[in-house]
């Protein structure tokens, strides 16, 4: 079975600071990788996803993530955060070819201060 | 209504009550999911339905009983719950559940408290 670890549970940044949120998974086979975001008072929504190809994927609102297979990692990055990026961020994986059964990490609460 | 809706948004019930959670998707999808989100724990997949057929039961206790009468509606029937079942229950839908390439769209959740 897969598992996902998000090491940072709470992150506080000032506006314009750079962001990197860690995500590591454990699974021996091929995986699909996702980052979801939940803004205050809103639904979980997809930020970006990786299936195959270029390991650097770009998502909405200037976010990107890099898949490093050797490290079983899929870290989320943004060069310059904004106050509106305050949200909870969830990393998720599913086993490629194993159906659409997502395994989530515990989430990282990001607060961006003005 | 657009997207995925869930009712009620909040529910308080006693351990001997029977209640149901409802989820409806307006996206034309064929797969629907129930997740449980407890405090400080990851979202846990509970059930998956694909084209109205249950394809996944993630070892969920029988006091939780799902029902999927059609591809647009999903219910979670609750009976004889325990206080540790208090959590946020999220519904999601996707185009189908046969592959892992389909984005899941989430509803706002039902906050359940069991007294």
List phi, psi (to 5°) of B21.
-100, 145
Q: Which residues in chain A have their CB less than 8 angstroms from residue B40's CB?
A: 106
Q: Averaged over A18-32, what is the pLDDT?
A: 93
| B34 pLDDT more than 80 | yes
**What value does the mean pLDDT of chain A take?**
94
Closest residue to B98, CB basis, from A36, A99, A107: A99
CA B48/CA B56 separation, integer angstroms: 5
The neighbour count for residue A60, using CB atoms within 10 Å, is: 10
Largest CA distance in chain B: 40
CA B92/CA B68 separation, integer angstroms: 13
Closest residue to B31, CB basis, from A45, A92, A100: A100
Alpha-helical regions (H) of A1-114 = none
| A17 pLDDT more than 70 | yes
Nearest Cα residue to A102 out of B109, B110, B77, B48: B48
| B92 bridge partner residues | B33, B106
Give residue A97's pLDDT.
Answer: 77
| A20 pLDDT more than 90 | yes
Report residue A9 as tokens. 């549970």
Q: Averaged over A51-72, what is the pLDDT?
A: 95
CA A106/CA A42 separation, integer angstroms: 18
In sequence order, what are the residues at sequence separation of 6 or more whose Cβ sits closer than 8 angstroms to the Cβ of residue A71? A24
Give residue B24's pLDDT.
Answer: 98
| B1 pLDDT more than 80 | no
* Per-residue confidence band for B2, with pLDDT thresholds at 50, 70 and 90: confident
The neighbour count for residue B20, using CB atoms within 10 Å, is: 14
* Per-residue confidence band for B113, with pLDDT thresholds at 50, 70 and 90: very high
Report the gap between the CA of B77 and the closest CA in chain A (Å): 21
Q: Averaged over B45-63, what is the pLDDT?
A: 95
Query: Is B43 within 8 Å of A102 when comparing Cβ atoms?
Result: yes
Nearest Cα residue to A103 out of A43, A8, A10, A36: A36
Q: Averaged over A42-68, what is the pLDDT?
A: 95
Q: Which residues in chain A have their CB less than 8 angstroms from residue B27's CB?
A: none
Q: Averaged over B99-107, what is the pLDDT?
A: 90
| A94 pLDDT more than 80 | yes
* Selected residue with higher pLDDT from A27 and B110: B110
């Amino acid at each position: 079975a897969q598992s996902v670890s998000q090491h940072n549970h709470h992150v506080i940044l000032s506006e314009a600071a750079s962001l990197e949120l860690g995500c590591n998974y454990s699974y021996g086979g091929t995986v699909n990788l996702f980052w979801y975001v939940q803004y205050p008072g809103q639904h979980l929504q997809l930020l970006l996803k990786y299936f195959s190809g270029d390991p650097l994927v770009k998502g909405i609102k200037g976010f990107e993530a890099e898949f490093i297979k050797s490290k079983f990692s899929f870290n989320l990055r943004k060069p310059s955060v904004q106050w509106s990026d305050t949200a909870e961020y969830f990393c998720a994986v599913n086993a490629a070819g194993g159906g659409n059964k997502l395994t989530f990490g515990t989430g990282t609460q990001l607060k961006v201060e003005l | 209504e657009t997207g995925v809706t869930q009712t009620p948004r909040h529910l308080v019930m006693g351990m001997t009550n029977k209640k149901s959670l409802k989820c409806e998707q307006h996206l034309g999808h064929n797969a629907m999911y129930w997740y449980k989100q407890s405090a400080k724990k990851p979202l846990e997949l509970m059930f998956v339905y694909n084209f109205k057929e249950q394809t996944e039961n993630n070892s969920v206790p029988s006091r939780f009983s799902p029902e999927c009468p059609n591809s647009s509606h999903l219910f979670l029937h609750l009976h004889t719950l325990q206080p540790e079942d208090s959590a946020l229950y999220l519904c999601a839908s996707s185009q189908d559940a046969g592959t892992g390439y389909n984005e899941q769209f989430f509803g706002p959740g039902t906050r359940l408290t069991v007294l």
